[in-house]
Chains A and B, each alone.
Chain A
C-alpha cells in the first residue's frame, strides 16, 4: 500500500492542482488580511466585547477555508477510480497482485496527506493573521484540537469522494459530493440562526439528519468552537449568524464521524472489489 501512497503523492504534487491551489490561497490571504485590518480599526463600535469582532472575522475566514479545503479534496479525488478506469490508467495496475482495497486505501492516504497539508496552510495562515491583527486566538484556545479536526475534514470528504469515484464519472461524482456537502452546510447553517432553546424543533431535526448524513459539517463546527471557545461564550449566540458553532457536537459525534469514514472506505473497497473494470 505504501507504494500507492507514494505515487499518489507524486501525482498530486506534479499536477498543477497544488500550484493553482497555492495561488488561490495566497490571493485569499491577501484579501483577507486587507479586510480584517480595516475591521480592526473599527472594532468596539458595536458595543460588543472586544473579542467579538475577532471571533466573527475568524469564523468567516474559517468558513471560506473550509470551502476551499473541501473543493480541493473533491476536485483532486473525483476521478480517482472511475476516471482512471475510463482513461485506461488503472487497467495495467489492477491485475497486479495487490488487493484492490489497498489501492483504494493508498489513494485515500496519499490524497489525505496532501489535503491535510493544504488545510493546515489555510487554517494556520488564517489563525496567524487574526492573531497578529487582533491578538486573538490566544494561548488558551485549543488551536491544536481545532487543527486536527480541520484536517479530519479532508479525510472525511476524501473518503466520500473516493466512494463516489468507484461508480460515478468524475464530473457526476464532483457534483454529487459537492451537493451532499452543501446540504450538510445548509443544515448546519440553519441551526445557527436561532441557536439554543429558541431553535425550532424541525430545524434541529433537519440539522441533525444532515450532520449524520455527512458529518463533515459537525466536525467543522466542532473545530470552530475549539479555536475560539473562550471568546465565543461572550458573544450573543445569534451574533455570528450562519458562521457559528452551535450546537457544539459531542465527543460521541466525533467518534461517529470517524466510524462513518471507516464505514465509507469499507463500502468503497467492497464495491471496487466487486466492480467489473
Chain B
C-alpha cells in the first residue's frame, strides 16, 4: 500500500450469520482527501465505518489506518468519529463532555478559551456550560462534531454528519469541511445527501448490498458523456439532417417557444452544431450543458446492479 494512504482495506467483510453486511470491500483513501461513501439505506456504509473505528469486528479481510493495523492502540488516538446514531450524556455540559473525551485520549484538559474555539467551529459558542439534556437533535449533532474533533484527529469519520441539521447548519458543516481539507485532515464521509458529496468529495465509492459497485473521482461520475440541450424555434428536415451526427434519438421536446433537442457533442464541436443550424435558417435561443448529477449516476448504478441481480435469479 501507499505510505500516503489514510485508509486501506483489503477484502474487508462483515457477516452476521448468513446475512452479509459488507462483502469483500477493498478501498484506499489517500491522506488529505475527502472521501465519500454512498449507498442506499442498508447498503452497509455504517457497518463499514464501524469496522474501521473498532466498534465491530471484521469477519474477514484486512484494514490499515494511517499505515497501522486496526488493533494498534496508537492509531485510535488519531481518529475522530461522529456516529450516525449520536447521543451525549444529558447530565453533562459540552465543556465537561469535551474534557471527558480529552481524558479518554490521555490529553490535557482544554481551557475555556480552547473549548470555546472548538464549539465556535461547530456553531455552539456560548453553549459550553449548558446541560446537554436541553439540546435539540441538531445541536447534539454539532456537539458530536466537536467531540470528533476534540483530539485534533488526522483521520475523521463522519457518518451522516448533517442528517439532523437545518440548511444553515449544513452550510456550517460545509465550511468546516473546507477548513479541515485546508488543514490536511483526511475525512471519510458517509452520507445519503448527494449534494454534500458533489460539493466536497474528491472521490466517492458506491456501496450496495454490502458490495462495492464503483470507486472513483466525483468529476468522472458526474460527466461521463458531454451533452447539451439546444432550444430552437423549429427543426426542418434539412436542419435535422445537418445535425444528424450529433442529434440524440427521441430527444426532441416541444416547448412554449418551439422545440428543445439534445445533442451529444464535445464542447469544442459545439460551434459547428450551431453553424449548421443557423445555415439551415433555424433560430437558436439557448444552449445549455447537461450535467449528470451524482444522484442520477447513483440511481443508475444501483438500478443496474438490481437489474443484474434479478437477471441472475
Contact = CB atoms under 8 A, between A and B. Distances in A.
Q: By DSSP majority rule, is chain A's interface helix, strand, loop, or mixed?
A: loop
Interface string A9-28: 01100110000000000000
Contacts, number: 68
A236 interface: no
A92 B218 CA distance: 29
B89 A97 contact: no
Given A3-B100, A96-B104, A88 B55 contact: no
B76 A96 contact: yes
B179 interface: no
Nearest to A11: B91
Contacts of B200: none
Contact of B87 (A3, A89, A95, A274): A89
Contact of A91 (B86, B89, B103): B86
Nearest to A2: B103
A14 B133 CA distance: 12
Contacts of B307: none
A88 B76 contact: no
B178 interface: no
B118 interface: no
Give the interface centre of B56, B77, B91 by most chain A CB atoms within 10 Å. Answer: B91
Nearest to A274: B57
B50 interface: yes
B283 interface: no
Contact of B91 (A3, A14, A91): A14
B86 A98 contact: no
Contacts of A276: 50, 55-57
Interface in B280-295: none
Interface string A243-256: 00000000000000
B73 to A, nearest CB: 5
Contact of B147 (A11, A14, A92): A92
Contacts of A132: none
Nearest to B143: A92
A88 B83 contact: yes
Nearest to A89: B87
Contacts of A97: 73-74, 76-77, 104-106
Contacts of A11: 89, 91
Contacts of B228: none
Interface string A68-98: 0000000000000000000111011111111
A7 interface: yes
B106 to A, nearest CB: 7
B144 A92 contact: yes
Interface string A92-125: 1111111100000000000000000000000000
Contacts of B79: 95
B56 A88 contact: no
B35 interface: no
A88 B85 contact: yes
Contact of B76 (A15, A91, A95): A95
A274 B81 CA distance: 20
A277 interface: yes
A92 B76 contact: no
A3 B103 contact: yes
B57 A89 contact: no
A89 B101 contact: no
A96 B92 CA distance: 19
A7 B81 CA distance: 20
B246 interface: no
B54 interface: yes
Nearest to B76: A97
Contacts of B53: 95
A7 B100 contact: yes
Given A7-B100, A97-B74, A277 B87 contact: no
Q: Considering the complex of A and B, which 9 residue pairs feature the smallest CB-CB distances, nearest first?
A: A88-B87, A14-B91, A3-B103, A91-B83, A276-B56, A88-B85, A96-B104, A97-B76, A95-B53
Given A97-B77, A274-B57, 14 more contacts: A7-B89, A7-B92, A7-B100, A92-B81, A92-B88, A92-B147, A94-B54, A95-B54, A95-B55, A97-B104, A97-B105, A276-B56, A276-B57, A277-B56
9 contacts: A10-B91, A87-B85, A92-B82, A92-B101, A92-B148, A97-B74, A99-B73, A277-B55, A277-B56
